[in-house]
Amino acid sequence: MAPKKASSSSKKSTTKVPANDSSPTISTATSTSTKESFEADLRALAAKARNETFANRARAQARIYLWSATLLTLLALSSVVSQLALSPVYGSIPSARWHAKLLMAACFVGWSSNLFLDRTLPFRPEHLLPVIALWTPAVHFFLGSVSSSLTAAWGPLVTEALTLFPLVGLSAACVATSLDGADLSALPGWLADAAPGLGSYAFFRAAEKVLGGLVQRFVGRSLLTTRTGLEVVLGALYALVAPSKLLLLALPAVLHTALFNTHVPTSTALARLNSGLAETGYVVLDRAESITGYVSVIDSPKEGYRLLRCDHSLLGGEWVKLIGQGRLKGNQVAEPVYSVFAMLEAVRLVKTPEPIVDSEAKALVIGLGVGTTPAALVAHGIDTTVVELDPVVHKFASQYFHLPSNHTAVIEDAVTYTSRQAADEAAPRYDYIIHDVFTGGAEPIALFTYEFLQDLHSLLKPNGVIAINYAGDFALPPPRIVVNTIRSIFPACRIFREHPRDEELFAKSGGDFTNMVIFCTKQAGGKLAFRLPGARDLLNSPSREASLLPRHEVKDADFLAGEAQAGGILRRNETDRLEKWHEVSAAGHWAVMRTVLPDAVWEAW
C-alpha cells in the first residue's frame, strides 16, 4: 500500500524550472496520468484485437445480413398478401395495375431517406413496421367499403399507398441502414456502392416469387392462411422482429380485426356480414378462399336465385325458387340465371356426318362454374368428364347447386391434363368438348393458345363438336385474336353472342362487352348447321326453350378492332398480345359487375 500513498502525495508537488529555461513546466501528476492512460489504451487495443477474430467478424456480418433478409422476406410476403386482400373487391387485374410501380417508388424513397429517418424520428424506424402491418386489415376493410367511390381505377392505388407504401419505404430504409455496416471491401468501389441496393432488390423479388407460389398453393387451408389471417400473421411477425411500446398504437386495429372485421372467415364474422347485408336482400350462404380466389355462394331469397362468386366475378347461377314448382316438378336440371350457359348445350344440336347417340357419347367440360352444362349433359345420359382447377368451386357446385354426382371430376390444371391426355393414344376421345373458362374480366390466356386448342383438337373425335365460351369486349383486339386462333385449328365454325349489341350503351361507352359461344367441328367444307331442338333436348326447361338454339350470330364486321391490331393467332410464347388489353377489359368487367349486384355485396366479402 506504501507505494500508492507515495504516489498520492507526489501529486501535490511540482518541480519548478528556472524562468529563463525555455522548457515548459511539466507536472509530475500529468506525466503519471498520461502513462496510465497510454497503458489503458494499449490494454483496450489488445482486448479489441483479441475480440476482433475472424469468427466474431463473421458473426457480426451474419447478423447484418440475417436482419436485412428477415425484413425483405416479411416485405415480400406483405406484397403478395396485399394483392390477395384487394382481389375480392377489385379483381386481381385492377389490383395489380399500380402495384409494381408503387413498390419501386417506395423502395427508392425509403432507400434514399434512411439517414434522414434515423436522425429525425425519436424512435428506431423499424418500430413502426408492426404498427403499420397490424393496421393494414382495418384499412383494407374501411377503404373496401367505399370502393364504389374509389373505383377500380384508383381504389387499389389509394389502399396500397396507405398500407403497403409506408411498409415498403420503412423496410427499405431499415435495410439500407443495416447494410451500411456490411463489409464489402473485397468488391471494387463501384460495385461495393451498388451491391447493397441491387442485392436487396434481387432478394426481395426472389422471395416474393417463392412466397407467392406457396401462398397460392396453401391459401384457405386454415384460418391463418386466409387473406385476413395472413395479414394478422404478418403483423405478429413484425411485432416479434421489432417490439416496442409503439405497439400500443395498433391496439384499436387489433380489436377491430378480432371483433368487427367480417373478412375473418369465422361463423361469427359471417353472421355479422349477413346482418349487414339484410337490407340489400342478399345472404352469403358459404364462403372459402382457394387457389383461384375468394369463392362464395350468394343467395337472394327475395328474387329466388343463387349465384357463385369468385373474387369480383360471377361463375354462374340458378333460379332456386323454380325447383320443384309447377311444371318443373321432378326436373333433372335447374334453371340457369344466365342464358349463355344454356346455349353451350347446343353443341348437341350441331349436325354431324354421323348422328351421335347420347347414351354412347362422351363429353369433356373444361371449367365447371355452377355445373349448368355438365348437369344437362348428364341428364341426357352422356358420359361426362369435368376438368376444374379449383376444388372449392367443385365442392360448392355439388353442395349448393345441382351438379349431379354421376360425372367424372378431374381437379387439375386443364393445360397439364389435356396435354397429357392428347399425348396418350389410349386416353379417351370425346364426341363433345365444352370450353367454358372466364373470371375477373380476362380470359385465362393459356387456355386460348394455339397449343392448348390443338390438344383439344386431338381429344375431339373426327365426328365431334366443340363449343367455346368467350367473354370479351368486341371493341378491343382480344376477341378477334382468339377467334383467329380457333379458326386456324377448326375448319368449320360459327359464332353466336348472348344478346344483341346495346347500341345506346355502345354509343355512350364505346365498349361492347358480352359472352359469345364459338361452335366448331373438324369437318372441312360446308357450313356448320343446327337441327331444331325437340322436347327431349329442352329438358322441360323454360330457359332452354328461350336460349338453347343460338340466335344472335356474330359476323366478321362485328369485331370492331382493326385487323392490324388483331391479326394473327395466339401462341404460347406470345401471351403478352392479350395481356396488354387486360387492364381495359377488366375495368369494364368490374363496372358491369357493379350493376349486376349491389356494391355492398361485393364489398362485404
Strand-pair partners of 470: 516
Q: What is the pLDDT of residue 2?
A: 41
Q: What is the pLDDT of residue 604?
A: 87
The three grid cell numbers given for residue 55, joined into one nine-digit string: 469468427
> pLDDT below 50 — which residues of the chain?
1-24, 26
Strands 430-436 and 408-411, sheet pairing: unpaired
Q: Rounded to whole angstroms, what are the CA distances from 269 to 144, 229, 239, 256, 261?
A: 16, 13, 25, 12, 7
Closest by alpha carbon to 583, among 99, 258, 195, 110?
Answer: 99
Distance of alpha carbon 181 from alpha carbon 396, whole angstroms: 54
Helix residue ranges, H only, 424-575: 450-459, 478-487, 503-509, 535-538, 542-547, 563-566
121: helix, strand or coil? coil
What digits encode the pLDDT tens for the residues 531-577?
Answer: 999 999 999 999 999 999 999 999 988 888 765 566 788 999 888 88
263 and 284 Cβ atoms separated by less than 8 Å: no
Distance of alpha carbon 443 from alpha carbon 437, whole angstroms: 7
Give the helix/strand (H/E) hosting 148.
helix 147-162
Burial of 128-143, coded b for 16+ CB within 10 Å and e otherwise, reads: bbbbbbbbbbbbbbeb
Q: Cβ contacts of residue 585 below 8 Å, gap of 6+?
A: 441, 442, 472, 473, 476, 478, 513
Residue extent(s) of CATH 3.40.50.150 domains in the chain: 339-573
Distance of alpha carbon 515 from alpha carbon 435, whole angstroms: 13
Q: What is the pLDDT of residue 29?
A: 55
458: helix, strand or coil? helix
Angle at the Cα of 552 from the Cα atoms of 546 and 555, rounded to 5 degrees: 165
What digits encode the pLDDT tens for the residues 262-290?
Answer: 999 999 999 999 999 999 999 999 999 99
Count CB neighbours of 384 within 10 A: 26
Residue extent(s) of CATH 1.20.1250 domains in the chain: 54-259
388: helix, strand or coil? strand
490 and 466 Cβ atoms separated by less than 8 Å: yes
Count CB neighbours of 2 within 10 A: 6
435 and 584 Cβ atoms separated by less than 8 Å: no
Count CB neighbours of 278 within 10 A: 9
> What dotted CATH number matches 54-259?
1.20.1250
What digits encode the pLDDT tens for the residues 221-259?
Answer: 999 999 999 999 999 999 999 999 999 999 999 999 999
Q: What is the pLDDT of residue 189?
A: 80
- Identify residue 346 by its one-letter amino acid code: A
Distance of alpha carbon 500 from alpha carbon 512, whole angstroms: 10
The pTM of the full predicted model, rounded to 2 decimals, is 0.86
Distance of alpha carbon 256 from alpha carbon 253, whole angstroms: 5
Q: At what angle do helices 54-90 and 147-162 cross, to 10 degrees?
A: 180
Radius of gyration, alpha carbons of the chain = 34
DSSP secondary structure string, 397-445?
HHHHS---SSSEEEES-HHHHHHHHHH-TTS--EEEEEEE--BTTB--G
Q: Cβ contacts of residue 284 below 8 Å, gap of 6+?
A: 270, 273, 274, 277, 296, 297, 298, 299, 604
Q: What is the pLDDT of residue 11?
A: 40
Select the CATH number that applies to the domain covering 339-573 from these four: 3.40.50.150, 1.10.760.10, 3.40.50.1110, 3.20.20.80: 3.40.50.150
